Structure formats: C-alpha cells, structure tokens
Structure 1
C-alpha cells in the first residue's frame, strides 16, 4: 500500500496497530527532505563585492584566484614577493626569492600545481634593482602552488640579450606550454613542459615603440592566443601551431582599446579587457572565432590604476586596484556590468 493511501485513512489513526503504523509513517515523513519546517540547507558564503587590503606600498600588478584554497594570489612591483589575500582582507606572504625584483603577471596552473610568475625590473623595487637588470630583465619563476617552493627560474631576456625587456603576462595552453609577453620588445616567449625557453613570435607589429607594447595574453581552447597591445589597443589572434600567421582582430569604429592590460576569457565568445588608462573593464564578444569583436558592456573602476582581472567561481570576475606605489592599501573588486 502507498504511504499516500494510508495517510488518507483518518479513521484508523486511533486504532491499535494502525495507530503505531501512523506514528511510524509520520516519523518517516518528517525525516524526508523538504518535509520538516526545521529543515535548513547551509548555503555557501557570498563572495564579497570589495576587499580592501591594508598593505602599504605593495603595488600589486597581477592577480589569480585560488579556488581550492579560497584565496587570491597577488604580485608586487615594489617588493617582488607573492602574497595571498583572504576575503577578510588578511594578507600573508606566499613566496619570495631574491631574484624576484618586480613580479608582474601571474598564472595559476592549478591542474599542474604550479604558480607561474613574470619577473621584470623597471626600477620600482629600489631594494633589488641593479644596473644589470634595469629594463633588461625578463624571467619566468615557477612555484609550487601549494607550498610556495620555487621549482624553476628561467631567464628569457638572454634569448635577445641586446634588447630592452619587461616580462608582463602569462598564458598556458592545454599541453602545459607557457607563453609570456614582453612589453619592451616585440616578443612572445614560449617555455615548454620541460622548461626549455624559446622565442615563440617576434614581429615589429607587436612593438610598442617608446612605450609599452604587448601586455595581456590568454589561451583560447580552440588553439590560439589572444594578445593585447597597450600603446594602441590592438588585439591579436595568434595560432599556437603557426604563430607567424597571426592576425589583428577587427574592431568597429569608435571602440577604443588603448591602455589594454590584463585579459580574462570568460568563455569562448567573451573576453574581459582591463584598460588602465581608460579606468574601465570592457566586455568584448565575438561570434566569428575572434576575427572581429565588439563591446557588449563596460565597468568603470575610477582612478585606481586597474591592472588585471581574475575569475572566481564560474562567472564572477574581480579587478585589481593597486592605486599608487606609495598607497597604504590596495583593493580587489567584483566587476559588475
């Protein structure tokens, strides 16, 4: 007999064994999900809209969200060290090493348990800069993303020793190859899974002239890189298999991407681009595999010197506000379009 049939027999409620059965049924019904008024489902903590971190003069440039450990990882132009930030604004040092003069872009390659760090020297870290490294250093540091132990340090600038260098941002493809942009030379470097470095692409179209050129970079799952150039706002599509066949993404008249810094690929058709000079995060979309793009939204940051952006959960994106190099704080803010 079905429970619902028994429960429609009110005359039996007070009769012998049926009374005991009715009590048992009521007890079972109360234990079923959704049957008790006292049933409460514990919800996940809400991600904060803003985290203000009281760390003086840190001037972070790169940021990644570590989903497993529920923390942000941030770099530092002025101190070189890598730090972690919790939602309660607590900052702790995650990793440091004397060769970390200025740490710029970060990439948390969680599946391979490594944190990738672009290392440069533009004179912002007075304690560590030297004549031998100033505007000449481009390096990749690889840390264990659990322990913070240094696993490898790879000098990239030595591939072109007579040029100026500034390693800026990092992307990783499906095979674990690492790509690093150089803002002072028209170069994208590649470091393979064995740690062997090479010049992946070098072309004068990627030059920033006397300013910053290449900046943000992301890997698209269809097998190409999207790369931004800060000085003129160019966006390039670079096939991983044939980098020399790179093309410029066409943008409509009136869409200004100058000052392009960090990039975040939200999904195959949606790219977030931080423009520091425009104090704006632009949401770009493409329906033709990034032959062309258009803007579908923007988020104004204000005069906070925004640099880059990271994903948290499946859809939230957080922008890094470094303020100035002497600021008593920095902030991590959810972008809302």
Structure 2
C-alpha cells in the first residue's frame, strides 16, 4: 500500500513538472537573407520548405541555386538548357521546379544570335537534386518575331501557364510536356523593347491573374474561356508590375520594380475590382518577385537588375531576400 502511495505521489509530481514547463519561443524568421555571389543577378525566387532554403535563378550564369538563412549559396543545376533563368514556380506536390528561360543577352557563355530576344522555354527540374526532367520550347508556337518567357503559374491538374513579355501570348504546358498557345491577343502586346505580360498566378476558383508591366494593368483570365479575359479595375498605379503572389483568395501582392514597392491588393468581388490595402517600400535595388514562406509571410528578391542593365562595373556581388512588412 505504501509503495502505491509513493508511486502515485511521484506521478503527480511528474505531471505538475510537465504542466509548469514553458515551451520555447519559436525561432523568428530572418528579416533579411543576404548572400554573396558575384555577377549572379537572380530574377526569380521560391521558398523550398521541404529543404529549408530559397531557390534563386540567374540572368547571367545559366544556373539555378539555393540560398540558406546563413547566406550560403550553392548551385543546384547548371543544365545547358538554362540560358537566363527568369521566373520560377515550385510545384511542391509534384516535387518539381519550373523555370522560365529566355535570352536577353546577359549570359555571355550561352547567348546565341538565333536565340537572342527570341527564346521562350520552360525548363522543369527535380526540386531536390536539380536534375533536368524536361525542356519545352515555347517560342516556336507563335509567329511573333521576339520572345521572352517570364513567369509561371500551375493549376490544380499540373498544367503550367507561361507568360511571354515580348509577344501577346500565354503558353500552356500539360503534365506530359505538350505545349500549346493558351491565349494570344493583341490587347496583351507591348511596344517593341517594352515588357508586356509578366507575373502570373493561378486562382483556385478557375482563373489566372496576370500583370502587364508596360501598362500597369492586371488581367483576370478564365481557364475555361481565356478569350473572355477582363481587366481588373484598380485605383493603384501598377506601372512596372513584375512578380505576383496570391496571399489568399481575396488578397494579392504585386511587386513593381521601378517604383520599388510591393503593393497588397484586396478584392470583394472576385477580382472585378481591387483596392490597395498595404504598401511595402523596398530598397531601390530592382525588386522582382516574391516567395511565400511559412504561412502568410512573404519575401521579396532584390535583383539589382538595374545595375546589370547599366553594365555596372564591377558587377554587384551581394543580393538580398527581404521579408515584406505592410
């Protein structure tokens, strides 16, 4: 009997000790992840939660790499199909990284007269090891003289939609790699030398939201009937709109690189209209695209592409991925 009482007392004490324990505070996310890789000039960024790292491309090096919170950079893929890596999309459930590839002439080792300002390609890599899964030509589908694959969205069935900034075209690539023109319309065009279609996201209600940089416009494009697309009415000037991130069904984040701003837009009528509900002012280092990390937190990439376009010497060596705060 005494033994039972003693054991009971010990159990109560143990329970009390456990109840008194305070769980450790979660490790806060970094405000800035800075990394050094001379002449990299990344344009696209995604967060790979499975491997706890940011994925970044390069307009100059023909690589896709990853950056960890300590600022270390490691090349993940240098496949020959990567000329200049622009927008990226991490298709988490299918374990693949989709990369929009173009040739603006900044990769001196891989640019060619036949591809300069004419290349639009979708490259699909294994997310974990960077191995090439598939390379799909897109520019050959359209008779437009110039092409620039810019950004990618993926729907629930695994179809990829790729914008072309130099042609009024959105391409569709099915899970087997079959490419078609999803939408081609002169209203989506831009003057020669200007960037038209840019950032793109898939909305789970069955449509795409697409930014048009030169016009500062946002379009809603139904998957079932893309030719019936409409312009979203916004009071905000979205000139130089670049990357998009759908925070939730009614909230969209938009990067505007020459404005050095990230705008948060909100809708109450399924993206017929949108109002500005927040603004984050970035450093003037040509912010391009956004990555979602751990819930609602987002990060914006400072690409410094303005320095690349100006042929700054020596080239920029340090780049930053910065937490967005509205």
Aligned to 1:104: 86
Measure the CA separation in 2 of the matches of 1:227 and 1:36.
51
**Kept in 1: contact 2:144–2:167 (CA 8 A):** no
**Kept in 2: contact 1:30–1:36 (CA 8 A):** no
Aligned partner (choices 131, 134, 147) of residue 165 of structure 1: 147
Aligned to 1:227: 210
- 1:193 to partner: Cα distance: 1.6
- 1:208 to partner: Cα distance: 1.7
- 1:197 to partner: Cα distance: 0.3
1:162-183 Cα deviation digits (max 9, x unpaired):
5200000000000100000000
Go from structure 1 to structure 2 and tell me whether the alpha carbon gap of 1:90 and 1:160 turns closer, same or farther (over 3 Å shift).
Answer: same
Aligned partner (choices 304, 325, 330) of residue 285 of structure 2: 304
Measure the CA separation in 2 of the matches of 1:34 and 1:312.
35
Within-5 A mapping of 1:79-228: 79-210=61-192, 211-228=194-211
Unmatched 5+ stretches in structure 2:
309-314
Aligned to 1:259: 240
Within-5 A mapping of 1:276-295: 276-295=257-276
- Rg larger in 1 or in 2? 1
Aligned partner (choices 36, 39, 42) of residue 60 of structure 1: 42
- 1:42 to partner: Cα distance: 4.4
Go from structure 1 to structure 2 and tell me whether the alpha carbon gap of 1:224 and 1:34 turns closer, same or farther (over 3 Å shift).
Answer: farther
Go from structure 1 to structure 2 and tell me whether the alpha carbon gap of 1:34 and 1:116 turns closer, same or farther (over 3 Å shift).
Answer: farther
1:267-308 Cα deviation digits (max 9, x unpaired):
000000000010000000001000000100000002110001
Go from structure 1 to structure 2 and tell me whether the alpha carbon gap of 1:288 and 1:26 turns closer, same or farther (over 3 Å shift).
Answer: same
Aligned to 2:10: 27
- 1:40 to partner: Cα distance: 4.8
Measure the CA separation in 2 of the matches of 1:174 and 1:162.
30
Aligned to 1:321: 302
Measure the CA separation in 2 of the matches of 1:35 and 1:97.
53
**Kept in 2: contact 1:219–1:225 (CA 8 A):** yes
Measure the CA separation in 2 of the matches of 1:162 and 1:292.
32
Within-5 A mapping of 1:42-57: 42-57=24-39
TM-score by length of 1: 0.91
- How many residues in Structure 1 have an aligned counterpart in Structure 2? 317
Alpha-carbon RMSD: 1.4
Measure the CA separation in 2 of the matches of 1:191 and 1:217.
15
- 1:148 to partner: Cα distance: 1.0
Measure the CA separation in 2 of the matches of 1:204 and 1:22.
85
- 1:21 to partner: Cα distance: 5.0
TM-score by length of 2: 0.94
Measure the CA separation in 2 of the matches of 1:22 and 1:40.
28
Measure the CA separation in 1 of the matches of 2:132 and 2:56.
16
Measure the CA separation in 2 of the matches of 1:315 and 1:26.
46
Measure the CA separation in 1 of the matches of 2:19 and 2:174.
57
**Kept in 2: contact 1:29–1:35 (CA 8 A):** no
**Kept in 1: contact 2:81–2:123 (CA 8 A):** no
